[in-house]
Chain A
Amino acid sequence: QVQLVESGGGVVQPGRSLRVSCAASGFTFSSYAMHWVRQAPGKGLEWVAVISYDGSNKYYADSVKGRFTISRDISRNTLYLQMNSLRAEDTAVYYCAKDSSPGGGTTWFDYWGQGTLVTVSS
């Protein structure tokens, strides 16, 4: 069965960096685009970033462009989100999500991890 397990969240000061990870299993990780989606406390869902199945294409929401970097390690079946210059408004639960279609394209998210909480506070 598909499993996505995030880790790496925590409390970080404004302006600092943090990297969160998502360990994937139960499917061919190298065949699917992967996403990060975040949810601020008590708020709705916001798409953050996507990486293509082979890592060659990466796209970001305007709110994080230039500060966040998505990457993947096929050998470790792991997705990453490097977050730099963090702001209070980046405080959220960060979910990784699997794209539904092998190879990419604009599609829905068929599996989600349980999320990891990132709190940006001094």
Chain B
Amino acid sequence: EIVMTQSPATLSVSPGERATLSCRASQSVSSNLAWYQQKPGQAPRLLIYGASTRATGFPARFSGSGSGTEFTLTISSLQSEDFAVYYCQQYNNWWTFGQGTKVEIK
């Protein structure tokens, strides 16, 4: 099983600041990586797929990068609606999720 490790567990950021979230795979997943956003009481929502392609409805301040085992989700200027939990998921070999990074207001 491919283990996905996200860091940090919690990220405290002020509105308008930049947030950088990391996701590491225990073995290469090529670019077969997705990011999901989950707000309290809601289902996860697809944010990024193919490591760097933004899903419909998300603004350009969200960007994904990386390949192989190291991936990054960057939110360039946090808005109030961006405070949520973010999960990475590999789909190269079955499907596994990271444990999530909570982005909270500083």
Residues in chain A within 8 A of chain B (CB atoms): 35, 37, 44-47, 50, 59, 95, 100, 106-115
Contacts and interface: CB of A to CB of B under 8 A. Distances in A.
A44 B98 contact: yes
B43 A106 contact: no
Interface stretch (B14-22, B65-73, B74-82, B84-92): B84-92
B46 interface: yes
Contact of B87 (A44, A50, A111, A115): A44
Instruction: Summarize B's interface: helix, strand, loop or mixed.
Output: loop
Interface of B: 32, 34, 36, 42-46, 49, 55, 87, 89, 91-100
Given A44-B99, A106-B32, A112 B49 contact: no
A108 B34 contact: yes
A112 B43 contact: yes
B46 A109 contact: yes
A107 B7 CA distance: 24
Contacts of B89: 45, 108-109
B97 A47 contact: yes
A21 to B, nearest CB: 16
A122 B23 CA distance: 38
B92 to A, nearest CB: 7
A95 B95 CA distance: 15
Contact of A35 (B95, B98, B99): B95
B46 A47 contact: no
Give the one of A45, A46, A109 with max B CB within 10 A.
A45
27 contacts: A35-B95, A37-B44, A44-B87, A44-B98, A44-B99, A45-B87, A45-B89, A45-B97, A45-B100, A47-B94, A50-B95, A100-B49, A106-B32, A106-B91, A106-B93, A106-B94, A106-B95, A107-B49, A107-B91, A108-B34, A108-B46, A109-B34, A110-B55, A111-B46, A112-B43, A112-B46, A114-B42
